[in-house]
Amino acid sequence: MLATKEDITRYIPQRAPIVMIHDLVEADADRVVTRLQVEPDNIFVWGGRLEAPGLVENIAQTAAAQIGYYCAQNNIPVPVGYIAAVKDLQIAALPLQNSQITTSVRILHKVMDFTVARGEITQGDRVLCSCEMKILAKLETRS
């Protein structure tokens, strides 16, 4: 475990109430894995389920955690990122509140300030959601 709910904001620019990842499980140059406990007071929970915008935000923050972890390891400020595009969004089911989801993001390629990644949210062996996402994040370079 690389980070928990108490210190995850070291790696992502989001702050409460919009933090959508709790644990940074693993991170390397090509892949990142996070977990989220779907709490009833989550702003994306409606009718006892985490809604689609929350799933997309969870994937985006998982990708951001990979960039943020890299930045922290290299003493570079964590950049603010923006979702530039979401492609091929597939939602098989919405997770229930009080359940835990695991999100993995695989970096497909990086071009200038853009990262293209494939995200997948699972619960056990079941894939709940997947998509391809283009993210814009400008890293500060050292002088």
Residue 48 CB neighbours (<10 A): 12
Sign of CA dihedral 124, 99, 47, 4: negative
Q: Which domains does the chain have, with CATH numbers?
A: 8-137 (3.10.129.10)
Own/partner long-range contacts of 73-76 (Cβ < 8 Å, ≥24 apart):
76/139, 76/140, 76/142
Classify 83 as helix, strand or coil. strand
Cα first-last separation, the chain:
32
Q: What is the pLDDT of residues 78-132, one digit of tens each?
A: 888 899 999 999 999 999 999 999 999 999 999 998 999 999 999 999 999 999 9
Angle at 55 between CA 110 and CA 61, to 5 degrees: 45
Q: Are strands 45-46 and 100-111 parallel, antiparallel or unpaired?
A: unpaired
Q: What residues form DSSP beta bridges with 67?
A: none
Tokens describing residue 51: 């809604």
What is the greatest pairwise CA distance in the chain?
Answer: 50
Instruction: Reply yes or no: is the peptide bond before residue 79 cis, omega within 30 of 0.
Output: no
Q: What is the pLDDT of residues 13-28, one digit of tens each?
A: 899 999 999 999 999 9
Q: pLDDT-derived band of residue 143, with 50, 70 and 90 as boundaries?
A: very low
pTM of the predicted model as reported, rounded to 2 decimal places:
0.94
> Is the pLDDT at 141 greater than 70, yes or no?
no
Mean pLDDT, rounded, of the chain:
94
The single residue listed with the structure tokens 């409460």 is: 16
| Phi, psi for residue 70 in degrees, rounded to 5 | -60, -45
